[in-house]
Amino acid sequence: MSGINQLVVSASAHDAITGCARSAQQVLAQVGPSRLVGRHVEASLHGEVEELWKAGDLGSTRDPIVYHGSIGEVEVHRFLDAHRGPLIVWYHNITPSRHFASHDPAFARLLQGGRSHLARLARQATGAMAVSEYNARDLERLGFSDVRVSPLLLDTERLTAIEPHWPTLNHVQQLDGPLLLFVGQLLPHKRPDLLLQAYDLLVTHHVPEAHLILAGPQRNTPYAARMRRLSEELRLPRCWLAGDVSDAQLAAFYQGAAIVVTASEHEGFCVPLVEAMAFGVPIVAIGNAAIPDTVGDGGLLLPPDAGPELLCEALLAVLDDDRLRKDLAARSARRLAAHDRVDAERHLLSNLTALL
Amino acid sequence: MTSEPARPQHDDLVQLLKERLEERRRSGHYPEGLESTLDSHARWMVGRRFEVPEDRRPRAREALRRLEQAREVAAPAPTTSRLPLGDQVHTTFARLQSRQLDPVVGQVHALADATFEVLQAILDVLDDPQAHQHADLLEQLDALFERLTEADRQERASSHLEARLQRLEEAERRRSFDAFYSATAFEDRFRGSQAALSEQYTSLADELVVQAPVFEIGCGQGSLLELLAKRGVPSSGVELDRDLAAGCRARGLDVVADDGLDVLARAPDASLGAIVLLQVIEHLSPQRLCELVVLACEKLRPGGWLVMETPNPQSLYVFARAFYIDPTHQVPVHPAYLEFLGREAGFEGVRIEWLSPVPEDEALLDDGTENSRRIGAVLFAPQDYRLYAVR
């Protein structure tokens, strides 16, 4: 064995899974020469991440592969099926396809294909790791056993150590009302519709000057268009669907935010909440999927059946109550320690040592 | 990493929020049915969301629990009595009763036991995650999904390709040149008369006598082929312009109307003595020129010649007078490049002949100075050159 290699489906600069794989690369380099391979590699990462179609020798080396499971991909499935060396699945979660069944059937099929392929890998894999307790249970439901939790290797300094984009910072600091911030892709399972409804109640009945920013890529264009229409229909002029923003702009948003909020129905980890912790911003979330694992006692978690009214009530309570807000901010900042990068690296090494 | 248990204050807070919400609803702060109105509005706007069907397993478990309780054998009816002889009466009745009822009760018990076991087995299977993942079915499902996704992708790719093809065809149509005038008229006007061309190529025809068979690409009106025929040299030609090719054939020459490279590609390897292109390569794209030279090397027998005559870009006079008359000229080909190309393609020897000197009455007057010599060399160098590459 010359080293442990990693395989991701898509490698892009702002993607949390790619970030995790790149960080893991530094850890694995301590073991031996290690390669990071992706099926789809963004141009800016060429050189650092090899493209799968050019890395034909990877399968024949019989070196262990750590596969970051996040979505289905035909070529990746073929490659893994042919791989004869040790295989560790590191599970970031595959969103259940039902969330996309009516919005993007082709994408839903990819997700479904990914999950059923993962179920098949259960028989082939040498070992399995998951980035959260929730994901570990999910993986067990797919037929894996003895799944170890190996937390995501997070680089929050990417945002905290840089200078925020000053015009954006200037803008958010001079808003005439508190800023609620949602960070994440604009996709059905993140329930931006529920968030917009709660925000609608908040500005209609309680805090008319509140602002809402939804920052994150809008890859599903029709869905994003529907969200824009919903926001227009509800007449929410202070709601801004900001789309994909730079790290510097995101840092400015976090600095200016009164609350980081999510109504997401499905998360394998939810990185933006940890970013909120890095900025000490109070967190309000609905406790779905892995969110309770990630947030712990670091935020206000509502029960999974919470509707827009209860979410609005929670936002209002945090905005109105200084003590509660400060308490949540302090808890958010304290919770960051649970996602310590060095601890996560130690977990990764000890898990790999035990599994290989 | 495990999640810490939620702090009690946290649960209290959520409870408090729920109470506040109830209070608002009661006090009429929110209109009645607000949440469901919002929800149906969002559904209408956002589109259908997937409804999770109710999990009926808990209900089945509850029914199973009740069944289990009902199975418990009830205590037999008491046979004691305070009345005189009451005990004996009760006991007798109980015996009589049980003779009738015991078999029926036994049947009911057996049925209940069997039902219980069946229900329990079904529920266990339903609860077992593995039971829902029949490996073969999953595999087939997976393959099916992969094919569907692949088909989706191919469909997208093919419609994309179709659009691209249309754009390319349109671009090609704009780029192609289809003049209303005949090529013969153009040749007569600018290339010189048939007689003048015959005179120009007499010496070349003499040289080619020993290089049969000769194949000429872009033979135009067939001046060279005619000279070769007169000398008894087996030769053939190809000409893109149909009218010119038909003219050649009418004069008994072996000429086809086609693309020169295509016809050459069909010739057997090492079968030709010479391949000639007179004033042709300046019409080719750089890529086609490369392909031509390599292909020619394959088709010539050892010792065969590739002869290419073209305007000399080292003479600025050429650009002022001749080169741009023909709108189908692509780029002039520099002799140094053509020589390089020949050698790289594998030709053994490459030699250049300088042709068509500028008429004396148009060239710079030689006043014997170094300056006029230098200027003359750049402005009035020979107008054409001919490259002989020997295989």
More confident site: A228 or B55? A228
Count CB atoms within 10 A of the CB of residue A232: 12
B322-373 tens-digit pLDDT: 888 888 888 899 999 999 999 999 999 999 999 988 888 888 887 888 888 8
Predicted ipTM of the assembly: 0.87
**pTM confidence score:** 0.58
**Which of residues 154 through 183 in chain A touch B, CB cutoff 8 A?**
none
How high is the pLDDT of residue B371? 87
pLDDT for res A198: 96
pLDDT value of residue B39: 78
Kindly identify which residue of chain B lies nearest to residue A132, measuring between CA atoms: B1
pLDDT at B1: 42
User: What's the gap in Å between the CA of B21 and the closest CA on chain A?
Assistant: 7
Q: What angle do CA A243, A218, A204 make, to 5 degrees?
A: 65
pLDDT number for residue B139: 66
Cβ <8 Å between B7 and A297: yes
Q: Which residues contact B40 (CB under 8 A, 6 or more apart)?
A: none
- Name the closest residue on chain B to residue A324, using Cα atoms: B13
**Rounded (10°) CA dihedral B76, B81, B84, B85:** 10
Instruction: Show residues of chain A in contact with B141, CB under 8 Å.
Output: 112, 116
pLDDT of residue B4: 46
Question: What six digits make up the tokens of A268?
Answer: 């394998």
Asked if B8 has any chain A CB less than 8 Å from its own CB, the reply is: no
Average per-residue pLDDT for chain A: 92
| DSSP single-letter state for residue B351 | E
B356: left (phi over 0), alpha (psi -120 to 50) or beta: left
Q: Do B10 and A301 touch (CB under 8 A)?
A: yes
Nearest beta carbon to residue A119 from set B30, B133, B145: B133
Is the pLDDT assigned to residue A56 strictly greater than 90?
no
Backbone φ and ψ for A49, nearest 5 degrees, come out as -115, 125
User: What type of residue is B237?
Assistant: G
Does the CA dihedral A279-A280-A283-A288 come out positive or negative?
positive
Among A145, A201, A220, A297, the strongest candidate for a mutation testing the B interface, having the largest count of B CBs within 10 A, is A297
**Which chain A residues are closer than 8 Å to B152 by Cβ?**
106, 109
Is A283 within 8 Å of A258 (Cβ atoms)? no
pLDDT in tens, A317-354: 999 999 999 999 999 999 999 999 999 999 999 999 99
| Overall average pLDDT of the A251-280 stretch | 96
% residues pLDDT > 70 (chain A) = 100
* Residue pair A49/A12 in contact by the 8 Å Cβ criterion: no
First to last CA, chain A: 11
Element (H, E) at B92: helix B86-127
Q: What is the pLDDT of residue B2?
A: 42
What Å distances lie between residue A353 and A64, A139, B168, CA to CA?
A: 12, 20, 56
Which residue in the block uniquely carries the two structure tokens 């919770």?
A335
Which strand (E) or helix (H) includes residue B216?
Answer: strand B214-217
Residues in chain A: 356
Q: Which of B6, B135, B149 sits opposite A110 (nearest CB)?
A: B149
Task: Among A313, A320, A332, A340, pick the best mutation site for testing chain B contact (most B Cβ within 10 A).
Answer: A313
Amino acid letter, residue B233: V
How much is the pLDDT for B382?
92
Distance (Å, rounded) from C-alpha B240 to C-alpha B258? 5
Q: Does residue A171 have a pLDDT over 90?
A: yes
pLDDT by residue, tens only, chain B of 391 residues:
444 444 557 889 999 999 999 999 888 888 888 878 887 777 777 765 545 557 788 888 888 888 888 877 666 667 777 877 888 888 888 888 888 888 888 888 888 888 888 888 888 887 776 565 566 676 677 677 777 777 877 887 888 889 899 999 988 887 777 888 888 888 888 877 777 778 889 999 999 999 989 999 999 989 999 999 999 999 999 999 898 999 999 999 999 999 999 999 999 999 999 999 999 999 999 999 999 999 999 999 999 999 999 999 999 999 988 888 888 888 899 999 999 999 999 999 999 999 988 888 888 887 888 888 888 888 999 999 999 999 9
Confidence (pLDDT) at B130: 59
From residue A127, give the alpha-carbon distance in Å to each of A68, A118, A140, B373: 13, 12, 12, 84
Altogether, the residues listed in chain B come to a count of 391
B306 neighbors B347 (Cβ within 8 angstroms)? yes
Q: How far is B166 from chain A (nearest CA, A)?
A: 26
Does the pLDDT value for residue A304 go beyond 70? yes
Q: For residues A144 and A127, what is the distance between their CA atoms, to the nearest angstrom?
A: 8
